[in-house]
Structure 1
C-alpha cells in the first residue's frame, strides 16, 4: 500500500473520523490525542467525529472536545458545535413506534442468541438499537445481519457494539448530508475519512470519499470489508490518528 505523505493530504480541509478504536486507546482518550486535536484546531483543520455511539454520549463528547461537531448513531443525528444545535439526519415519522420495532428485532435476535446483552448506552439512543459484541463470531454476525435484513432493518458492528438500524442509515450517508448542508464549500476530495472497523466501511467507499485512512487495527477486519481504506497508518488506534494528524501540524 502507498504510504501517506504530506502531499497526498495537502487538499484536505476537514477530517471526518470514527471514535472508538480510532481516537481511543484501550477504550480511552489519551493525552497525545487531545494534543493532536488541539494542534489541528490551531492549524484550522476542522475535525468532525462520525461515530456509532449514542446520542446521549455524543452530545457530551462533542461539547468537550475541540471539534466542529459529531455525527452519532452511525449517521442518525448531528451535533453542531458551530451554533450549538442538534438535528436528526434519519427521518423518523414516529419515534416511539420506531423504538418499539427496533426492540422487537433485538428480542428476535436474543431468542436465537441468548448471550447478547443490550448496551449500556442503549437507553440514550434515538435512531438505532445496540447490544455488546462480546465474543460473537463472524458467522454469528452474518446470521444476525440476514435476520435484520429480512425484517427490513440494517445491521452493522464495530469493535464494541452491534447496531440494528434503518437500512439506509450509515456513516457515509450521514456525513454526506451534513457536508452538503453545513460544509457545502468542500468537495469530497477535500475530506479525509478515518476509521477502524466494519461500521466505518461506507467511509472507505471511494465512490463517496476518494481519500480514506484506516488506522492499523483495521487489518483485523480486512477480509470482511468490501470497501478498503485508501491508506493505512503504521500505528493502531489513537496513535494511528495522531500519526495522521502530524502531517497537518
Structure 2
C-alpha cells in the first residue's frame, strides 16, 4: 500500500466518482463526524458522483439517500440500491395536488418481489436465532428490523465474539446453504448472490449508463475491512483508511493507497487529497 502523497494527479482527475463504505470508514464506531461529513461536500464540489456502499440495512440507506450529498446508496452488501428520483407531474397529481417544486422520492432497486423477500428472511431469522442460542457470546444485531435481504449477528459492535466462534458459525451456515459476509462489526446471513462489487457495477450500469468494465477505471473505492475485499479487487483505484491494516490478513488484494489516519479522519484525508489534485488541474 502506498501513502496518499504518491497518488498520481492524473488518476484523481480522471475519476467520475467515489464509492465508499460506512462503518469504520466514514463513520467512527457508528458516529458521523463533522470532518467526514464535510469531506463529502468537498468531493462533490469537484464534480464527482458519490455512492455509499455498506452492509447496513435498507432503512439506514433511505435516510442517507434523503439527507446526505450523495447520488446513490447501496445497502446490505450489494443486494439493494436506493436512488432519488424526481416525481413526475402524473405521480404528483394524486388527490388533485401538484407536486412541490423540486419534489423527489427515494426508490429501492430490487430484482425480487416483497413476498419472496419476506419468505427468505423468515428462514434466515430462524437460522440466526439458532446461532445466537448456541453461541451465547453473539447476539442479533440491533439494526435487523430495518433489513430487507439479510439478517445480521453482532460479533464486534456491542459484542465481542471469539474468532473461532465466528468461523464455526460460518462453517455451519455454509453447510445449510447460507452465504455469510463478515464486516468489522457484523456477520451477515443471506441467500443473495450479490456482494459489494457486483452491486456497485450493477448500479453503475443500470442507473449511470456506465460500461461495466470501464466503470472499474472511472470510480474509486474507499473501505476498511474484509467485506470490502471484493471491491478492493474489482476497482483500479482503491483507498483504505489507516485501520484497514488490522484486516489485511482477510484481504486477497489490499487497497492501493492508505491514509495515515483511521476511520472518518482517514476518509477526510483521502477526500482532501483527491479534491486538491482535481482542483489544481492545469489549464488546457
TM-score, with structure 2 as normaliser: 0.81
CA offsets per residue over residues 174-225 of structure 1, 9 Å max, x none? Answer: 11110111122362101101111111111111xx212211111011111122
- 1:245 to 2:271 alignment: yes
Contact 1:215 1:240 in 2 (8 A): yes
What are structure 1's unaligned runs of at least 5 residues?
none
Q: In the alignment, which residue of structure 2 is the partner of 1:235?
A: 261
The root-mean-square deviation of aligned C-alpha atoms, in Å, is 1.8
What are structure 2's unaligned runs of at least 5 residues?
87-104, 276-284
Secondary structure at the counterpart of residue 209 of structure 2: coil
Q: In the alignment, which residue of structure 1 is the partner of 2:37?
A: 34
Given candidates 12, 15, 26, the residue that maps to 2:18 is 15
TM-score, with structure 1 as normaliser: 0.92
Structure showing the higher helix proportion among its residues = 2
- 1:193 to 2:233 alignment: no
Correspondence 1:1-249 to 2 at 5 A = 1-4=1-4, 5=7, 6-81=9-84, 83=86, 84-89=105-110, 91=112, 94-133=116-155, 134-185=159-210, 187=214, 188-205=216-233, 208-249=234-275
Q: 1:19 to 1:160 in 2, by over 3 A?
A: same
Query: How far is the alpha carbon of 1:81 from its aligned partner?
Result: 2.7
Secondary structure at the counterpart of residue 190 of structure 2: strand
Q: 1:115 to 1:136 in 2, by over 3 A?
A: closer
Query: How far is the alpha carbon of 1:90 from its aligned partner?
Result: 5.5
Structure of greater Rg = 2
- Give me the whole-angstrom Cα distance separating, in 1, the residues matched to 2:175 and 2:35: 44
- Give me the whole-angstrom Cα distance separating, in 2, the residues matched to 1:121 and 1:74: 14
CA offsets per residue over residues 130-163 of structure 1, 9 Å max, x none? Answer: 1211212322222222122111111112222221
- Give me the whole-angstrom Cα distance separating, in 2, the residues matched to 1:78 and 1:194: 18
CA offsets per residue over residues 93-149 of structure 1, 9 Å max, x none? Answer: 712210111012212322430232111110111000012112123222222221221
Contact 1:13 1:45 in 2 (8 A): yes
Q: 1:219 to 1:87 in 2, by over 3 A?
A: same
